Structures are given as C-alpha cells and as structure tokens.
Amino acid sequence: MNSSHGAPSVRATYRLQFRGGMTLDGATALVPQLARLGVSHLYASPLLAACPGSTHGYDTVSHDRIDPVLGDETALARLAARLHAHGMGLIVDIVPNHMAADAHNPWWMDVLTWGRASPHANWFDIDWDAPDPDIRGRVMLPFLDRPFDDALAAGMLALRHDGDSGLFFIRHHDHRFPLRPTGYASLLADVDAPGDLLAAFTTVAMRAGPGRESEAALHRLRQWGATDAGRVGMARIAMLHDGASLSGRARLADVLAGQAWRLAGWRDGASRLNWRRFFDITGLVSLCVEREEVFDAVHGYVLSLYRRGLVDGLRVDHIDGLSVPAIYCQRLRARLDRLTPDRPEDALPGGAVYVEKILVAGECLPAAWPVDGTTGYDFMDQVSAVLHDAHGAGVLDRLWAGCGPDASPLGPIVRAARAYLLEHVFCAESSHLATLLRHCLPDGDGSWAAQDLRPVLECLLLQFRPYRTYFGDEAVQDHAADHLVLDAAGRAACQVTTGAQAMVMEDITALLSACPEQAPPPVVRRAQQAFEHLTAPLAAKSLEDTAFYRYGRLLSRNEVGSDPALLGLPVAAFHACCLSRRERFPHALLATATHDHKRGEDARARLAVLSAMPVEWERQVQDWFAHNHAAGRGGPDRVDEVMLYQTLVGAWPLEPFANDAERLHFRRRIRQWQVKALREAKRHTGWTRPDTAYEDACAGFVDRLLDPVVSAAFLRQMAGFVDHIAPAGAVNGLAQTLLRLTAPGVPDLYQGCELWDFSLVDPDNRAPVNFDYRAGLLEHDTSFAAAAADWRTGRVKQDMIRRILAFRQNYPDLFTFGTYEPVETTGRDRAHGIAFLRRHGGTSLLVVAPRLPHALGVGAANLAAGRDIDLGLELPRLRGPWHSLLGDMPWQVTHPFTRGQVPLACLVHHAVGE
C-alpha cells in the first residue's frame, strides 16, 4: 500500500533546522543556494508553535499556528513562493505523538483545570482509572523540585491569580498549575467578594465542568480582580494560603486536595506517573491521535497549508509512538488525497509522506502503511556497515575486552540497560502493563493466581528486540512478522524462567498477539497497546541512549538505526537492501546525517578506516593507555578513555588549530560530548544523580590531553595519526555520499553536510551553519580533480553533490523508474569496490564506490590511488562512448579505478541513436 503520490517529484531533500537563529525568512534567503546545489525540496524541522525557548520544536504547544519565533504564515508564504519560483517544494516535520506538558499548551491546561470534565480529557493518553487511589481520577504531576511535603513546608507552592485568564493557580518556580473553578466560591467567600460573583461560582460548582456559566463567571472574576477591592482580595487570598504559616499551609493543603491533579517531586515520575510521556521525558505528554477528533485538531492547520500549496509533503515524527500507526497513515493519506485536487494549479505535485521509523535487521516497513518510506535511518546503517571491514572484528574485540570488566559484548550490555530502565525509569509503565495483563489473563482454576507477573513480563521485555509489534493497531493487516518477533522473544524468555512462569509467558504472548478481527475484549486491546508503548522507548533508551555509551568497540557503528554488534556488511547484502528498497519503497529517503545522529557522517567514515587497520589502532591505543596515565586520577576508566580517543580521532580537524580560540572551541565541544556520554551511560554518573567528582576528573583529563604545553607529545601523536587515516576517511565519506546520491531512493542532505561533517551528538550537530562560506564555494565552478586537490576544505564533496544532483534533475526517470543491477567485481582488489548499474530509456549510469580505501594507498595531496588497482567489472555489452560525471574517464570502463585518480567512478552511457 506504499504511496507514490507526489513522491516522484522529490529528487533530493535538504534538512534545515529552524530555531537557533534560523527563521522562515532566513530560509527564504537560502533557496537560490539550495537550488544551485540541486535539491528539489527543503525539508524543515517542526514549524508549529513550541515552548518558548525551544531549540528543536518537538515540544509543540499549539497545532494551529506557526511559531512566532520563526515568523508567521505570511513568512511561510514568502518561503513557499521563493521555493516554487525555483521549481522546489517544502516538506515539513510534524509531531502527532506528543505535546508539551506545559502552561503554554491550552489543551493540557484545560485538562488540569477541569480534570475528566474537560473536553480534552481524552485527547491525552491519561489513565484516569489508575489503581492508586491517591491519583485515581486525577493527573499525576511530578514537576516539583523536591517531595510534595517538603515543597509545601518550604513555602515553595504559592497560590496566585492570573488576571488574563481569571484562573487561580499554584506557582512553583516557572510552573503554573491551574485550580479547578468549582472551588473558587470558597476561596472568594473568605475575602468578602461580591455576592453575584460568589453566586456565579456556586453555579460553576453545580455544573462541575466548563461551559457558558464558567466562562461568564471567570469573566466577572477578571473584572473584579482588576478593581482596587479585587486586588486587595487577591492579595488576601494569597496570604491566607501562604505555606510559610501553619494555618496557611493547612488551607493550601485543603485546596490542593480538591484539584484535578496531584503534585509530586520529579523523582516520583518514574514510579507513579499515570499518563504516557514521550520516552522518559516527563515534559512531553502523549496524544490520543487515534481518536478522529484529535487527529483533525492536530492536523487541521497543516493540512490547510497543504491544500493552499504552502506545504508539499510531510515527515511524521516517531510513528512508533502512535497507538494505531497503520490507521493513522491511512487516515493521513486519505486526507491528503482528498485535498490534492484543491491545490493551486501552479503547485508542485504534492502528498509525499515519510515516517521516522527505526528498522532492526530483517524488519520491513509494514505494507499497510500507505507512505513513501522511512526518513533513512535504515540506509544510514547499511551504507556505513558496507564501508567497514568485518575482518577487523577479532582484534577490535580483543582491544575492547581489555578495557575492564564493564567492556562486555553488546548483548549483555543491552540486557543490563533494559533491566536498569525497567527498574528505575519505566517502572510506572511496566506496572501499568502488568496490571492490565492480570485483569485479562484467565485464572479459572487458580493455577497461577499467586504468580507474580512482573518477573515474567520483565523476562519478555528483556528479550524483545524491535521497537514494537502492531497487534494493537486497529487495521486488519499481515502480522506474520509480529508473530515471529514476539514468539522469538517469548521462547528466549522461557529459557530463563521456571515451568510455571513459562505457562504464564505462553498466556501473555497469546494475549499480546490477538488481532483486532478476532474481537478481543477492550482490556486486551489496552494491554497490547501498553506493551507496544513500552517496548518502543525501552528499545531506544536501552540501545541508543545507554548501550551506545557503554559499548566502545568501534563508535562509528554506534549510530541511530544501527546494530553495533554487526561490524561490517557484505557487498552482496548491501545490494540486496537496495533491490528491496527499489521494489517496495523506491521513494524512501536516504540519510547519512540527521539532527539525531551521534556523530557526523564524515567522522563515522573516518573511524570506519580503523576496522581495516585494527592492529595498528590497537597498538596506538595501548600506547596512549600507557603514557597518558588516566588510571589513579579518579577518571576516566578504560571504557570511557577508549571512547574518548575514538571521539578525538573522529572529530579532529583536518587543518591545525589556527589559534587558541579554535583550540578552546574544540575542547569545549569534546567536554560537552563527554558529559552527555558519561551521563547517558549511567555507569559512574547520570542525569538524575550526577557524580561531579568523576565528571570533573574526566573533564580534567580532557583538559590535560588537549593542553599543548602539558601534552605536546600526545597532540603530535593524535595529529599524526589523524593525518595518516584522514585521506582514506575522506574517500570513505565520498563513497557514502556517492552511494546516497545514486542508490534507489531519495538522497537527503542534512544542513551543512555538503562539506565535511565531523560533528558530535546534539547540540553539536545542530550548531549554526556558515552558509555564506558554502555559497562562496558553490559559486566558483571547478574541475573535480581541482576540488580533490583542495579536499581538506570539503569542496570535493560539495562538487560531487552538485554534479550528480544536476544529473538527477536532467534524468529524473532514471532514478525514479530505472533498474538497479549489481555488477560483479573481479581481480585481487575486488573487495575494494561496490558497483551497480541504473538503466532506463537508453540511459545507463555506472556507479563504482570505493571500499576499504586505506589499502589503496590514497594520497594526502589529492586523494588519488597510490598504486595500481586490480579491480575489474563484469559489465553487459553497451555500444558507444561513456562519459564521467566526476573527473577524468578511466582508461577502461571495465577497470574503473586508475592509479593517480580518486578511486571512484560515476559514468554515463547513452544508447546509440538515443
């Protein structure tokens, strides 16, 4: 059911991060530059209103307007007009899964004000019937900086009145928690408020919910509050409920007891939360977008932008967070198709839909989703893995194992991370799931009534590897893949359970695999969705946000969407992935860098070189271990030390530091990365309980290593080692760029990455981009050979992108409908090439990307091969000449890598007479 409506017009996208200085008008100014580069669509981070000060836009507070920090709809119209004038379109990132649990979110505030009586009470995924009597029928709010009783006793909770809304609220630092208007009459009676105002709120108490009476009463309260008597009365109410006195504390406690919410210290969020959040971020509350009225409210404005031609396609954030992703995708596709005929005549073909989805090995995008493909994490993994040398695993494993008792294989690290997260981070979610399962499991003979479900459930969750199954969806679809992964997890879990527990495991997996067409009862459906809502964040947090910072065999494989246990991918397997994509989702995005990547695409490409020279790398690291003397200083330990060395190698600049300011900036980036890495690993320190002594020791070690006076010898070694591998790393970077531009799918460029990208994890990878510098390079045409001679600037990468995207623009059908034909390589150096043909309508494109280039003797002057390369191609007979899109033609097409030239080829052939 994959869609192709509007997608063929998407030739190449350019992801732009708004905020941080980038506005809609700023993007408008960049359009001519992006058009010259050859992209067809600007691909925007979220544009809708987000929390004030948001750096990313995923904390939406309103779905019906552009964030004023970025501009307004008029500014968006200017951007769309400039894009259309250059034959380009706009794809925007939307966030249907969650919103900010923040005072700026009117829907959320309405729920806190009125509780279950709010018309938005079922718009958020709140368990109003939680078994805990203290929060049943209420919303748990773990936003206090200390336990509730301590906050109350310390006077940290202040009752105030908002003159704009008319609502009373509790203030705690920057938080505002609105009081239920049904209790305002008692507050006002204590200060001799006007009788008509008291009567109005007595009526509100009788109605017990929002409506005209409450609106009128709040309007009257705003009027009175603006008078001198009203201001005196409000001050009196605040004084009467001042927690600094025993009587005020008692009154305030009584008021709080009657609210639609329950305040708690932030540490209680993991154990007592009764609403679904985004991963473990309590500041983001999940939406029930499966409800059609919520879907319409969330998408109404962006769909109107689509209808008016201001937006041409959508990127859906975190599709696996939705309860019913298949239904969601089908509904979104239907809405877009319905609106497409109403778009302006001069609008581009529109309606492309991409979903952010992590696919594990062997997993495919569900066929029931009518979308154009993923955002490209799967390709990012494949292209990175095929450029690694799997034969280096043994030595790299030996080096890693020598880093201490924590240097385990990936599997145990992930399982330990999952166990930690279930106990300390997702305990509320797992308890909720266990409760639901207990309500729906059969127990007619009492055979397992005494069984504790938690250990059984934990065993299952520890073994479950993908993000989720889709049994909880409401669409009738093929669940063969879901059965396979759930059954595999159940079997693995049964190996470490008792016989009685294994019986319970069978019952659990049977319930979790019930399909909607089998009409399972609602409690089973809720259990299925609770399981699927838990496995997705558990998978992400255990691997990407924990294991990636605990497992340091080779950090270039610790990337979003990747399996670090797999060091290298055979060329044949890479071809198989490309063939599958062409068959199933030919318009999917192909990414090698994103706003979520752990390190830049060219940092990974450089680190990949280490897989082909593991003995030399091991020797170098052991030398650093011996001479840098980290041991005995309180930190880092060997695990953190070896990760630091890899990070330095990957991010080290291609040119020497020009001055102390550059050196200081680099050190700050490394220290910023280090703090995040140490806390995400949760071995010695963490976000909730930081060990400042260990962090300070690690920071001191970085400062010492990067001090040119104290560590001159180390800095010479680091610079020399990077100089040694950087040319091969650059060729790797060009190889993955070439494959991204020519393989089946749509190449996606992340902002600034048309030049070398040695960034680290966010916020480093979201730093402002020097677009003026890139524009200057782009404006001066040069030969590919000249660009290669100036490769340290990154110009050679930009030149490759410009040349191939121009070719894609001239021959779009070759990439939209053309074949993908793997080409067999022969000769002693056959392992050093990845070759394929794309053919359509008499035009053929031959692509030969280099692989494992360190062995090719790539030169530091111009990236040229330093020796003769015995790599041949088994090509079909094609009459007539070939020409090269990149540099000089090789002497023979069947032997594309020539000594003295950059070892890559992108050759075009037109059939005679065409």
Q: Which residues contact 277 (CB under 8 A, 6 or more apart)?
A: 98, 101, 283, 284, 285, 286
Beta bridge partners of 353: 314
Q: State the Cα–Cα distance between residues 357 and 285, nearest whole angstrom.
A: 20
7-97+289-374 carries CATH number 3.20.20.80? yes
Residue 1 has pLDDT above 50, yes or no: no
What angle do the packed helices 453-463 and 499-512 form, to 10 degrees? 70
If you ran DSSP here, which 8-state letter would residue 408 be given? -
CA dihedral 50, 56, 59, 61 (to 10 degrees): 10
pLDDT at 269: 81
Q: Which residues contact 526 (CB under 8 A, 6 or more apart)?
A: 436
pLDDT at 862: 96
As a whole-number percent, the residues of the chain with pLDDT over 90 amount to 92
582-621 burial string, b = 16+ CB within 10 Å, else e?
Answer: beebbbbbbbbbbbbbbbbbbbbbbbbbbbbbbeebbebb
Beta strand 98-100 with 352-355: parallel, antiparallel or unpaired? Answer: unpaired
Q: What is the mean pLDDT of residues 795-804?
A: 98
Lookup: tokens for 845 = 């494109």
Half-sphere exposure of 246 (CA within 13 A, CB side): 0
pLDDT at 268: 86
pLDDT in tens, 342-399: 999 989 999 999 999 999 988 999 999 999 999 999 999 999 999 999 999 999 999 9
Q: State the Cα–Cα distance between residues 97 and 836, nearest whole angstrom.
A: 39
pLDDT at 443: 66
Q: Which residue has the tokens 């194992």?
A: 401
Number of residues that this document lists for the chain: 914
Reported as a pLDDT band with limits 50, 70 and 90, residue 913 is low
Lookup: tokens for 851 = 């692989």
Lookup: tokens for 56 = 């990313």
What angle do the packed helices 795-810 and 24-37 form, to 10 degrees? 80
- Residues 745, 590: contact at Cβ < 8 Å? yes
pLDDT at 450: 46
Q: What is the mean pLDDT of residues 802-817?
A: 97
Lowest mean pLDDT among 237-246, 379-388, 443-452, 534-543: 443-452
Backbone angles phi, psi at 366, to 5 degrees: -55, 135
pLDDT in tens, 695-705: 999 999 999 99
Q: State the Cα–Cα distance between residues 78 and 183, nearest whole angstrom.
A: 49
pLDDT in tens, 171-220: 999 999 999 999 999 999 999 899 999 999 999 999 999 999 999 999 99
- CATH fold for the domain made of 614-724: Arc Repressor Mutant, subunit A (1.10.10)
145-154 burial string, b = 16+ CB within 10 Å, else e?
Answer: eeebeebbee
Beta strands across the sheet bearing 158-161: 158-161, 168-172, 175-178
Lookup: tokens for 412 = 């145990």
pLDDT in tens, 825-861: 999 999 999 999 999 999 999 999 999 999 999 999 9
| Nearest CA-CA partner of 808 in 747, 730, 893 | 747
Q: Identify residue 31 by its one-letter amino acid code.
A: V
| Nearest CA-CA partner of 90 in 159, 150, 14, 32 | 14
Q: Which residue has the tokens 């991060």?
A: 17
Residue 162 has pLDDT above 60, yes or no: yes
Residue 551 has pLDDT above 80, yes or no: yes
pLDDT in tens, 300-314: 999 999 999 999 999
pLDDT at 879: 86
pLDDT at 452: 72
- Residues 643, 549: contact at Cβ < 8 Å? yes
Q: What is the mean pLDDT of residues 626-648?
A: 95
Beta-carbon neighbour count of residue 724 at 10 Å? Answer: 16
Which CATH number applies to 106-278? 3.30.1590.10
Is the preceding omega at residue 370 within 30 degrees of 0, hence cis? Answer: no
pLDDT in tens, 761-777: 999 999 999 999 999 99
Q: State the Cα–Cα distance between residues 723 and 796, nearest whole angstrom.
A: 18
Q: State the Cα–Cα distance between residues 321 and 337, nearest whole angstrom.
A: 24
Q: State the Cα–Cα distance between residues 589 and 750, nearest whole angstrom.
A: 12
Residue 402's alpha-carbon distances to 554, 563, 702, in angstroms, are 14, 22, 22
Residue 497 has pLDDT above 90, yes or no: no
> With 0-12 CB in 10 A as exposed, 13-18 as middle and 19+ as buried, what is 281?
middle
As a whole-number percent, the residues of the chain with pLDDT over 70 amount to 98
Beta-carbon neighbour count of residue 382 at 10 Å? Answer: 22
Q: State the Cα–Cα distance between residues 447 and 504, nearest whole angstrom.
A: 10
pLDDT at 867: 95
SS3 of residue 849 by DSSP? strand
Beta-carbon neighbour count of residue 249 at 10 Å? Answer: 17
If you ran DSSP here, which 8-state letter would residue 392 be given? G
Lookup: tokens for 122 = 């079922």
Residue 451 has pLDDT above 60, yes or no: no
Q: Which residues contact 250 (CB under 8 A, 6 or more apart)?
A: none
Helix (H) or strand (E) holding 44: strand 41-44
472: Cα separation from own chain's centroid: 23
Helix (H) or strand (E) holding 284: strand 281-286
Q: Which residues contact 371 (CB under 8 A, 6 or more apart)?
A: 2, 3, 316, 329, 333, 353, 354, 355, 365, 585
pLDDT in tens, 464-475: 999 999 999 999
pLDDT in tens, 389-431: 999 999 999 999 999 999 999 999 999 999 999 999 999 999 9
Q: Which residues contact 452 (CB under 8 A, 6 or more apart)?
A: none
Reported as a pLDDT band with limits 50, 70 and 90, residue 503 is confident
41: Cα separation from own chain's centroid: 21
Lookup: tokens for 750 = 């992340």
CA dihedral 544, 678, 393, 398 (to 10 degrees): -150
- Give long-range contacts, CB 8 A cutoff, 24+ apart: 887-892: 887/783, 887/784, 887/785, 887/788, 888/785
Q: State the Cα–Cα distance between residues 525 and 531, nearest whole angstrom.
A: 10
Tell me the helices (H) and strands (E) count for the chain, helix number first: 31, 24
pLDDT at 880: 86
Lookup: tokens for 910 = 């037109």
Q: Which residue has the tokens 């509904």?
A: 331
pLDDT at 2: 53
Q: Where are the domains of the chain?
A: 7-97+289-374, 106-278, 412-551, 614-724
Reported as a pLDDT band with limits 50, 70 and 90, residue 538 is very high
- Residues 586, 816: contact at Cβ < 8 Å? yes
